[in-house]
């Protein structure tokens, strides 16, 4: 498997760090099954014994990181020590995993891998790869920044990739990964998503990989959300029985202007009449009081209720056929479907509608 990565026909660009990387490749390229992905026992040694240029770069980059405007993702400089944290079982202390068996699980996992310490740690392979990549890939590719930390992450950033950008991202994981990656990644999204707005500009949100959720017209990415097209098409063509909001005008005799209510926000007559009372109380009393507002309001509502009970006012509606009906006779859902508008009529006018029903209504409201 080692020829795989040393492919001479790819036209290597050596950057000077050859032998340790060859070592790394051959070990890794053999497709060994056992992986020490937590980079345990070897982790600390990696930091010390890694190709010196690389570790220096890391340190430099750490400083660079701390001065940069972070786009929020947990940066990789923290990651490296995190891997070592796993070493010491610090994961146990994370309060978010209260399940105790995990502790044993982790410990045994740690031990298992410590025993097999001959295998190279995961982080080793990362480092090895990052340098290898710099050697191997060609075609006008910009030099892998794993080896050139003079290149500030910003330059890798937005917009189009230098044509052949396949390998920018992965190997830089250890140091540059998070931030530069976000920019590149969002740049990619910019390329391929015609509806996307600027994915990199962002506010305090930690995410900037894609359009943030605060953007109102959601960019429609192909194949997202993952719903079968059959289902999507079916829902699109199914007519809903009622519109999503059912606004009806409410007029009141003697009021200078009308109101509108969304019937969908109510599910019983009681709710509707309470809401209407609140809305129209100021008209009957004549003042929407400012002092002692609450007390006043309650007084007004009570007065309105009394007025209604005293059959001074009745609530009526115009149905689909154009007839004026008394509110309260039919089940709510039926009323909801057939109501086109509401009217608070003076009791005297409503006598013609249904005299006995008026008493029924007054009791109900």
Site for another protein, residues 126 to 165, rule: CB under 8 A: 126, 129-130, 133, 137-141, 161, 163-165
Q: Which residues in 221-250 contact another protein (CB under 8 A)?
A: 221-232, 234-235, 238-242, 244
Cβ 80 vs Cβ 123: under 8 Å: yes
| Interface pick for another protein out of 41, 168, 281, 316 (rule CB under 8 A) | 168
CB of 278 to another protein, least distance (A): 22
Please, which residue, 210 or 251, has the CB nearer to another protein? 210
- Footprint on residues 40-99 left by another protein (CB under 8 A): 72-74, 76, 79, 94, 96-99
Region from 150-158, 219-227, 271-279, 320-328 binding another protein, contact rule CB under 8 A: 219-227
Q: What are phi and psi of 250, to 5 degrees?
A: -125, 120
Neighbours of 46 (CB within 10 A): 24
| Shortest distance, position 100 Cβ to another protein, whole Å | 11
Spell out the SS3 assignment of the chain: CHHHHHCHHHCCCCCCCCHHHHHHHHHHHCCCCCCECCCCHHHHHHHHHCCHHHHHHHHHHHHHHHHCCCCCCCCHHHHHHHHHHHHCCHHHHCCCCCCCHHHHHHHHHHHHHHHCCCCCEHHHHHHHHHHHHHHHCCCCCCCCCCCCCCCCHHHHCCCCCCCCHHHCCHHHHCCCHHHHHHHHHHHHHHHHCCCCCCCCCCCCCCCCCCCCCCCCCCCCCCCCCCCCHHHHHHHHHCCCCCCCCCEEEEEECCCCCCEEEEHHHCCCHHHHHHHHHHHHHHHHHCCCCCCCHHHHHHHHHHHHHHHHHCCCEEEEEECCCCCEEECCCCCHHHHHHHCCEEEEEEHHHHCCCCHHHHHHHHHHC
Count of residues interacting with another protein (CB under 8 A): 93
What is the nearest approach in angstroms of another protein to the Cβ of residue 158? 15
Regarding 4 and contact with another protein (CB under 8 A), the answer is yes
Of residues 251-280, which lie at the interface with another protein (CB under 8 A)? 267
Residue among 6 and 282 whose Cβ is closer to another protein:
6
User: How far apart, in whole angstroms, are the C-alpha atoms of residue 349 and residue 270?
Assistant: 23
Listed ranges 43-51, 150-158, 176-184, 283-291: which one lies at the site for another protein (CB under 8 A) = 176-184
- Output phi, psi for 360, to 5 deg: -55, -45
Minimum distance of another protein from residue 349's CB (angstroms): 31
Answer for which of 181, 187, 276, 362 binds another protein (CB under 8 A) is 181
Residue selected from 171, 187, 308, 350 as contacting another protein according to rule CB under 8 A: 171
Q: Identify residues 12-31 at the interface with another protein (CB under 8 A).
A: 28, 31
Pattern 309-348, binding to another protein, x per CB under 8 A? ------------------------xx--------------
Closest CB to another protein among 140 and 286?
140
What's the min distance (Å) between Cβ of 183 and another protein?
A: 11
CA-wise closest residue to 341 among 313, 315, 319, 326: 319
Please report, as residue ranges, which positions from 103 to 122 form the binding site for another protein (by CB under 8 A): 105-106, 109, 122
Nearer to another protein, 89 or 289 (CB): 89
CA distance linking residue 262 with residue 342, whole number of Å: 11
Residues 276-295 touching another protein, rule: CB under 8 A, are none
* Backbone φ, ψ for residue 330 (5° rounding): -100, 160
Nearest approach, Cβ of residue 297 and another protein (Å): 28
Q: Which is nearer to another protein, 3 or 355 (CB)?
A: 3
């Amino acid at each position: 498997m080692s020829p795989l990565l040393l492919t001479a026909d790819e036209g290597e660009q050596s950057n000077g760090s050859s032998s340790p990387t060859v070592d790394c490749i051959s070990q890794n390229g053999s497709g060994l099954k056992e992986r020490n992905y937590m980079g345990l026992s070897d982790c600390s040694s990696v930091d010390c014994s890694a190709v010196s240029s690389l570790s220096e770069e890391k340190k430099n980059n750490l400083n660079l990181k701390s001065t940069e405007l972070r786009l929020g993702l947990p940066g990789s400089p923290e990651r490296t020590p995190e891997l070592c944290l796993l070493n010491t079982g610090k994961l146990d202390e994370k309060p978010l995993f209260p399940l105790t068996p995990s502790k044993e699980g982790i410990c045994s996992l740690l031990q298992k891998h410590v025993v097999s310490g001959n295998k190279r740690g995961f982080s080793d392979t990362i480092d090895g790869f990052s340098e290898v990549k710099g050697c191997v890939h060609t075609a006008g590719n910009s030099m892998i920044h794993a080896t050139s930390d003079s290149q500030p992450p910003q330059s890798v950033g937005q917009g189009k990739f230098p044509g052949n950008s396949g390998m920018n991202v992965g190997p830089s994981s250890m140091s540059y990964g998070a931030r530069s990656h976000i920019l590149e990644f969002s740049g990619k999204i910019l390329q391929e998503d015609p509806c996307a707005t600027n994915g990199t500009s962002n506010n305090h949100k930690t995410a900037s990989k894609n359009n943030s959720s605060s953007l109102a017209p959601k960019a429609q990415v192909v194949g997202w959300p993952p719903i079968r097209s059959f289902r999507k098409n079916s829902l699109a063509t199914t007519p809903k029985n009622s519109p999503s909001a059912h606004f009806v005008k409410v007029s009141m005799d003697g009021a200078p202007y009308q109101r509108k209510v969304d019937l969908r926000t109510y599910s019983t007559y009681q709710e509707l009449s309470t809401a209407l009372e609140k809305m129209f109380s100021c008209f009957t009393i004549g003042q929407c009081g400012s002092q002692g507002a609450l007390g006043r309001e309650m007084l007004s509502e009570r007065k309105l209720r009394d007025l209604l009970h005293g059959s001074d006012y009745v609530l009526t509606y115009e149905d689909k056929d154009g007839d004026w009906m008394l509110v309260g006779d039919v089940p709510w859902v039926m009323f909801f479907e057939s109501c086109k508008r509401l009217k608070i009529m003076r009791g005297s006018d409503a006598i013609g509608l249904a005299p006995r029903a008026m008493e029924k209504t007054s009791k109900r409201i």
